[in-house]
């Protein structure tokens, strides 16, 4: 049995997709629950704690382990391998950080039996201008941008006197703001393309 088609591998892929898809909704819920002071039990994990754990495990220990592996097998020197691995960290942060809304849309489309497909950016050279591309980008990623701008507006409004004092979430509560800001920023800076007919392609399985 090939590991790529084993039930364990499929289970891990599914849980990873579900976890990434839940990032936006989970960050918003965490921001509101903890910011508004809603009572939760001690089993509730804060988003910042999860973010810190993922940062230590994946960009930290994961890259260190792979660096030591490359050094031990003689593929690269230690510092060359470390530099090679660390330079990919920003890309992966923005790439995986900008997947949440699109994966949520895909999972909801699958639950509702709505056809959806992932697309890729065109590789052909085409004559274009800034004024042509900006409206096209807005049309393709309108859902992501609207969601992100609403989240930004929500975070700003909750810091002002527009809401009652007991409902305000001041800016110094960075443990609430950083997870949601990271998700929002990644979606704005690196939107992921998908095709217009919204068909979910399960060929990856």
DSSP characters for 136-148?
Answer: HHHHHTHHHHHHH
Give residue 113's pLDDT. 78
61 in Cβ contact with 82 (< 8 Å): no
pLDDT confidence of residue 2: 43
Q: Per the structure block, which two tokens stand in for 79?
A: 């510092």
Instruction: Tell me the two tokens of residue 204.
Output: 């990856």
**pLDDT value of residue 22:** 86
Signed CA dihedral, 25, 106, 53, 146: sign only: negative
Cα gap 155→170, rounded to integer Å: 9
Structural contact between residues 186 and 103, judged by C-beta atoms closer than 8 angstroms: no
What span, in angstroms and rounded, lies between the C-alpha atoms of 120 and 80? 32
pLDDT recorded at residue 155: 94
Tell me how far apart the alpha carbons of residues 14 and 205 are, in angstroms, rounded to a whole number: 10
- Determine the pLDDT at residue 10: 58
| CA dist., res. 158 & res. 169, Å (int) | 5
Rounded CA separation 92/75 (Å): 23
Distance CA 182, CA 177 (A): 8
Whole-number pLDDT of residue 129: 79
Distance CA 76, CA 69 (A): 9
Those residues of the chain that have pLDDT short of 70 are: 1-15, 116-125, 192-205
pLDDT of 118:
61
Rg (CA), the chain: 20
């Amino acid at each position: 049995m090939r590991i790529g088609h084993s039930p364990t591998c499929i289970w891990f892929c599914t849980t990873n997709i579900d976890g990434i898809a839940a990032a936006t909704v989970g960050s918003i819920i965490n921001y509101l629950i903890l910011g508004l002071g809603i009572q939760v039990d001690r089993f509730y994990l804060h988003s910042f704690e999860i973010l810190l754990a993922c940062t230590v495990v994946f960009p930290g220990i994961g890259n260190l382990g792979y660096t030591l592996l490359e050094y031990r097998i003689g593929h690269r020197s230690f510092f060359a391998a470390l530099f090679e691995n660390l330079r990919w960290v920003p890309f992966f942060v923005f790439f995986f950080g900008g997947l949440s809304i699109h994966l949520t849309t895909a999972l909801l489309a699958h639950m509702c039996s709505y056809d959806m497909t992932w697309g890729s950016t065109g590789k052909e050279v085409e004559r274009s201008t800034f004024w042509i591309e900006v409206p096209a980008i807005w049309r393709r990623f309108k859902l992501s941008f609207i969601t992100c701008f609403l989240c930004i507006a929500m975070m700003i409004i909750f810091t002002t006197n527009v809401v009652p004092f007991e409902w305000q979430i001041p800016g110094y509560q960075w443990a609430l703001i950083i997870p949601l800001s990271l998700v929002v920023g990644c979606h704005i800076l690196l939107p992921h393309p998908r095709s217009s007919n919204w068909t979910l392609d399960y060929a990856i399985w």
